[in-house]
């Protein structure tokens, strides 16, 4: 059953007040977060103040929305008016957001309660949350392991019930991969279905905001609230709800079950597929020949956009850090040299390279063409199947420090998740079970462009067969 609906019933029946609910969550955060380090900013006073006001409204007996009073957290690259928003970077250490992102505004209208801002890899660049300039978030199932990234803080906050839901952003897997590593549901919606206004831009043609929840039904509730056309984001639109077919055909890309896949991940996935095969679901093998190239394509397009988007951090705007330079050029060099961490600098330089004279055609333009072919590859697959399933990640959560010095091996942890970003497709990670050591394993469900609601219906159906009930 939906956790949000359960709380909603309790609020209506006055079995619990919003204040009690919010205080209960803050208590959990204070108990657990010293070790886990999911939060960068906790808005305790603001949250309790709002909770009290909502309790007054509740007393009046007016009809309330499902999200009324529900405590949530937002990744710290989503602007929240009057609250520090750092993107996990030193360069924005003092930055107080002057306005709300559209998603935050929409949740405010529904009267959900923001509890705090969660940790991330700097500017959402990374797969382990180790790239944060402030702290390293830990995996709640094993403190020596990473929670995944870049939305690691949000995944941990939901996994440990510090909040009911959390927002993240996904450019190449940053919602689904940490969801898989922390045993929660993480949803990357179709590109453009959720407004990016107020999301600190990383790679604008790939970035999407989406929810983390424990239940698929809750994902749907949050997604309905935050999605839809926004005048302030020209790429946004309204989704139509469609009717689900009775008999579904599922595609398993051969390419995902080859080299490099962890044995336990493979076994659990196959075991799960056997369970669902009995339920009017046909499974067939498909070829996504270009999937093997998606990561290479991503590591050209993404850094190119990063290098352009991050040019705005000039040491003049966004409450800059102190510096002693009196020359404008020196000020740029110093601000950006000191303010950006290693991974961010790496991606800016890579992007600068692939966009520079002599390399533009061979790298950037080539990648844009391959992007078209990858999109077509998926379109062709969806003529035969309704959804595509594969493990969300090729491995179990890895150890803290294991990949941080080898960028390429870190990039490879996104090998199964980048494809849907390249093609703009909706994609969800569903926790299906655990390894022998008790580490979570996720299954990725990908659907055609704009099939978001159908995908959520299907994920809910599959949820019954998981080991987490």
Partner 1 sequence: MDLKEVEYLLHLARIEMNEREKEEISNQLEDILNFVKKLQEIDTEKIEPVSGGTDLLNIFREDKEKERDIEMVNKLKEMAKELSDGYFKIPPIF
307 binds partner 1 (CB under 8 A): yes
Residues 348, 415, 439, 462: which binds partner 1 (CB under 8 A)?
348
Please calculate the CA angle 251-431-103 and round it to the nearest 5 degrees: 95
Shortest distance in whole angstroms from residue 418 CB to partner 1: 12
CA distance between the termini of the chain:
9
Question: How far apart (Å, rounded) are the C-alpha atoms in residues 430 and 182?
Answer: 11
Quick note: the x/- pattern for partner 1 over 102-131, rule CB under 8 A, is ------------------------------
Say which residues have a Cβ less than 8 Å from residue 469's Cβ, sequence separation at least 6. none
Beta 440-446 vs 427-434: how paired, if at all?
Answer: antiparallel
Q: Which is nearer to partner 1, 238 or 436 (CB)?
A: 238
Count of beta carbons in the 10 Å neighbourhood of residue 296? 13
296 binds partner 1 (CB under 8 A): yes
Residue from 26, 163, 174, 22 nearest 88 by CA = 174
Q: Is 174 a catalytic residue?
A: yes
Shortest distance in whole angstroms from residue 408 CB to partner 1: 5
Residues 14, 52, 312, 338: which binds partner 1 (CB under 8 A)?
338
Q: At 251, phi and psi to the nearest 5?
A: -105, 135
Stretch that binds partner 1, among 35-43, 135-143, 210-218, 292-300 (CB under 8 A): 292-300
Q: At 391, phi and psi to the nearest 5?
A: -60, 145
> 436 is written with which tokens?
């022998």
Residue from 444, 412, 423 nearest 371 by CA = 423
Query: Alpha carbon of 403 to those of 89, 228, 340, 373, 459: distances in Å?
Result: 20, 38, 20, 31, 31
Which among 127, 132, 169, 174 is annotated as catalytic?
174
Stretch that binds partner 1, among 10-18, 150-158, 332-340, 395-403 (CB under 8 A): 332-340
Q: Which is nearer to partner 1, 282 or 376 (CB)?
A: 376
Shortest distance in whole angstroms from residue 368 CB to partner 1: 3
Stretch that binds partner 1, among 122-130, 145-153, 290-298, 461-469 (CB under 8 A): 290-298
Residue 276 CA, distance from chain mean position: 26
Instruction: Please give the residues from 84 up to 103 whose contact with partner 1 meets the rule CB under 8 A.
Output: 95-96, 98-99
Stretch that binds partner 1, among 6-14, 40-48, 212-220, 404-412 (CB under 8 A): 404-412
332 binds partner 1 (CB under 8 A): yes
Shortest distance in whole angstroms from residue 187 CB to partner 1: 17
Instruction: Please give the residues from 349 up to 368 whose contact with partner 1 meets the rule CB under 8 A.
Output: 349-350, 352-353, 356, 362-363, 365-368
Which among 25, 37, 75, 403 is annotated as catalytic?
75
DSSP 258: S
DSSP 445: E
Quick note: the x/- pattern for partner 1 over 415-434, rule CB under 8 A, is ---------x----------
Q: Is 32 a catalytic residue?
A: no
> 409 is written with which tokens?
């091996």
Cβ-in-10-Å burial (0-12, 13-18, 19+) of 60 comes to: exposed
Query: Alpha carbon of 464 to those of 170, 186, 445, 458, 468: distances in Å?
Result: 26, 17, 15, 11, 9
Q: Would you name the residues annotated as active-site residues?
A: 75, 150, 174
For binding to partner 1 (CB under 8 A), which residues are involved?
95-96, 98-99, 191-192, 204-206, 231, 234-235, 237, 290, 293, 296-297, 299-300, 307, 316-320, 325-329, 331-334, 336-338, 340, 342, 345-346, 348-350, 352-353, 356, 362-363, 365-373, 375, 407-408, 411, 424
């Amino acid at each position: 059953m939906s956790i949000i609906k359960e709380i909603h019933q309790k609020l209506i029946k006055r079995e619990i007040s919003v204040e009690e609910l919010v205080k209960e969550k803050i208590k959990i955060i204070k108990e657990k977060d010293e070790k886990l380090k999911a939060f960068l900013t906790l808005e305790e006073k603001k949250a309790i103040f709002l909770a009290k006001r909502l309790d007054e409204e509740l007393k009046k007996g007016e009809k309330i929305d499902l999200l009324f009073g529900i405590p949530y957290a937002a990744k710290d690259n989503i602007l929240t008016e009057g609250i520090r928003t750092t993107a996990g970077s030193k360069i924005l250490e003092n930055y107080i957001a002057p306005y709300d992102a559209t998603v935050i505004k929409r949740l405010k209208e529904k009267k959900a309660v923001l509890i705090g801002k969660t940790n991330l890899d700097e500017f959402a660049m990374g797969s382990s949350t180790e790239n944060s300039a402030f702290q390293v978030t830990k995996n709640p199932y094993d403190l020596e392991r990473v929670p995944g990234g870049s939305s690691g803080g949000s995944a941990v906050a939901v996994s440990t019930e510090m909040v009911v839901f959390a927002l993240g952003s996904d450019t190449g897997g940053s919602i689904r991969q940490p969801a898989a590593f922390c045993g929660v549901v993480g949803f990357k919606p179709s590109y453009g279905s959720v407004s990016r206004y107020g999301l600190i831009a990383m790679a604008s043609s790939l970035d999407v905001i989406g929810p983390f929840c424990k239940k698929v039904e809750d994902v749907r509730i949050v997604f309905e609230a935050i999605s839809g056309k926004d005048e302030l984001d020209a790429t946004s639109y309204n989704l139509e709800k469609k009717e689900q077919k009775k008999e579904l055909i599922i595609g398993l890309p051969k390419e995902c079950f080859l080299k490099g896949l962890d044995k336990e991940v493979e076994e659990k996935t196959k075991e799960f597929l056997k369970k669902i095969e009995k339920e009017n679901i046909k499974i067939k093998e498909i070829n996504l020949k270009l999937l093997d190239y998606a990561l290479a394509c991503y590591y050209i397009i993404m850094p190119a956009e990063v290098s352009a988007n991050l040019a705005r951090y000039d040491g003049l705007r966004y409450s800059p850090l102190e510096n002693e330079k009196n020359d404008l050029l020196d000020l740029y060099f110093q601000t950006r040299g000191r303010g950006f961490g290693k991974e961010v600098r790496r991606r800016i330089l890579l992007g600068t390279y692939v966009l520079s004279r002599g390399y533009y055609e061979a790298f950037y333009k080539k990648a844009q063409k391959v992007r078209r072919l990858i999109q077509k590859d998926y379109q062709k697959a969806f003529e035969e199947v309704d959804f595509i399933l594969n493990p969300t990640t090729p491995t179990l959560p890895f150890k803290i420090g294991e990949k941080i010095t080898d960028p390429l091996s870190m990039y490879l942890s996104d090998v199964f998740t980048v494809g849907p970003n390249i093609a703009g497709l909706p994609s969800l990670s569903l926790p299906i079970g655990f390894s022998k050591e008790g580490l979570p394993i996720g299954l990725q469900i990908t659907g055609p462009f704009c099939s978001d609601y159908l995908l959520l219906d299907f994920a809910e159906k599959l949820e019954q067969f998981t080991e987490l009930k």
